[in-house]
Amino acid sequence: MQRNLYGYLASAGAFLAMDIVWLTLMAPRLYRPRIGELMADQVNFVAAVVFYLIYIFAILYLAVLPAMRENSWKRLLLNAAAFGFCAYATYDLTNQATLKVWSTTVTLADMAWGTLVTTVAASAGFLAMRAATRH
């Protein structure tokens, strides 16, 4: 159980650090110019925290734990990339299909970002769990 906590915290730390940098840099450059009229003036922190808690759990459950069972980097990278891609594609393509104002550029950038950040976060969790297993 403690091993899983280390994995969760490592994944969360990596994901949050990367996402804060991404959002800080890309909000004014990518999001606001293309979908600014849809963006809230203030972040809903409760919703953001709930998202992060659920998403990191899913990273562990769908990517890190299967990779730990198989002791396989290949399983980790495939599962994490597939999950990140599909999760972000669900959000972006649904928005693109249903909203009057949504940018294909945002969709493509976001899907690439989701794939990358999820894979890096899963890798951090995997490394933390492997280190905890050795000790």
Place of tokens 């899983």: 4
The rounded distance, in Å, linking the Cα atoms of 71 and 50 is 30
pTM: 0.96
The rounded distance, in Å, linking the Cα atoms of 81 and 122 is 9
The rounded distance, in Å, linking the Cα atoms of 15 and 29 is 21
What is the chain's pLDDT, residue by residue, as a tens digit (135 residues)? 899 999 999 999 999 999 999 999 999 999 999 999 999 999 999 999 999 999 999 999 999 999 999 999 999 999 999 999 999 999 999 999 999 999 999 999 999 999 999 999 999 999 999 999 987
What pLDDT, on a 0 to 100 scale, did the predictor assign at position 134? 85
